[in-house]
Structure 1
């Protein structure tokens, strides 16, 4: 009897590990390049909004947000369903096309910056900054700074569920609608 219980316990443990691995994999964010996201937005019948994570390789808060926020299963599931997700290096060297203009890397100081990142962040160069665009690639809002999963999800839903069309952020967040 003891051997049977031990054997059953092994199978249950194995099943649990497989289930956790499958659930975790299903919730991973699929990051796209800018060109991949804009191509999808232009060709799909029902395009999604675009989310851009502007980061740098040296930014500790960017890495923390990747680990804590974007790896969160609830955040990953919501974002993958409602947005094309783009990772953009604020110091990237490759030119980027946006609305008929080519944005390039600008050498400045020890590193430099990308003109497109600067335009998206409205000249406020701080990392991380997350950018929300609508389905036609129009700016909804830049959101500077590290965001924990709950507050980030509130912001993502505000734009992703089109709440911004009916309520301003102050009204939405003050009435306890956020934080779900």
Structure 2
């Protein structure tokens, strides 16, 4: 039996390193709990806006958005810089405090839903839904459905760069033409 030559081993090693480098463009997003984000927003001298990804464990589009959109290096870098990023299970069981009210899990059908998720999504229980809140935790906009990286980044910049304060969405996005 022939033993692999040194050059064959080197070639295999370089191929492996190249594959790892290709996958390194994806970034790991640091997700916070609601309580962690709320604490940061309340205690930071210059708080960021809050971004909430409302998901469920069974949602395929939620998983696709995690992989394709939130792991995109440009999206991840922008979001980390401009938002506290929260992962919120729309069927989570733990109570959540928000603006003096306690939101709880409501059993319904085979599973149920969390009142906080329902309030943020304005009663439209669609997964995934992404929520943008300003620095004072006021609603900017819920955005239902899967979003590809480029359109999502365009939306995130609209809120993150405060463009929404001076320009409506149709003008910003070019839809008013």
Q: TM-score range by the shorter chain?
A: 0.7 to 0.9
Measured after TM superposition, the shift of residue 23 of structure 1 is: 5.8
Measured after TM superposition, the shift of residue 129 of structure 1 is: 0.1
- In the alignment, which residue of structure 1 is the partner of 2:86? 86
TM-score when normalising by structure 1: 0.85
2:120 and 2:55 map into 1 onto residues whose CA distance is 12
- In the alignment, which residue of structure 1 is the partner of 2:150? 150
2:24 and 2:127 map into 1 onto residues whose CA distance is 32
- In the alignment, which residue of structure 2 is the partner of 1:159? 159
The change in CA–CA distance for 1:61 and 1:15 in structure 2 (over 3 A counts) is closer
2:156 and 2:84 map into 1 onto residues whose CA distance is 12
2:64 and 2:17 map into 1 onto residues whose CA distance is 31
- In the alignment, which residue of structure 2 is the partner of 1:30? 30
- Structure 2 unmatched ranges of 5 or more: 1-6
| Residue-by-residue CA offset, 1:6-38 (whole Å, 9 max, x unaligned) | 9x98998798678667765xx321100000000
- In the alignment, which residue of structure 1 is the partner of 2:3? none
**Where in structure 1 do 4 or more consecutive aligned residues deviate above 2 Å?**
8-24
TM-score when normalising by structure 2: 0.87
Q: CA RMSD, aligned part only? A: 2.3
Conserved 8 A contact 1:28-1:77: no
- In the alignment, which residue of structure 2 is the partner of 1:69? 69
2:62 and 2:16 map into 1 onto residues whose CA distance is 34
- In the alignment, which residue of structure 2 is the partner of 1:107? 107
- In the alignment, which residue of structure 2 is the partner of 1:52? 52
The change in CA–CA distance for 1:126 and 1:21 in structure 2 (over 3 A counts) is closer
1:103 and 1:82 map into 2 onto residues whose CA distance is 27
- In the alignment, which residue of structure 1 is the partner of 2:122? 122
1:30 and 1:104 map into 2 onto residues whose CA distance is 25
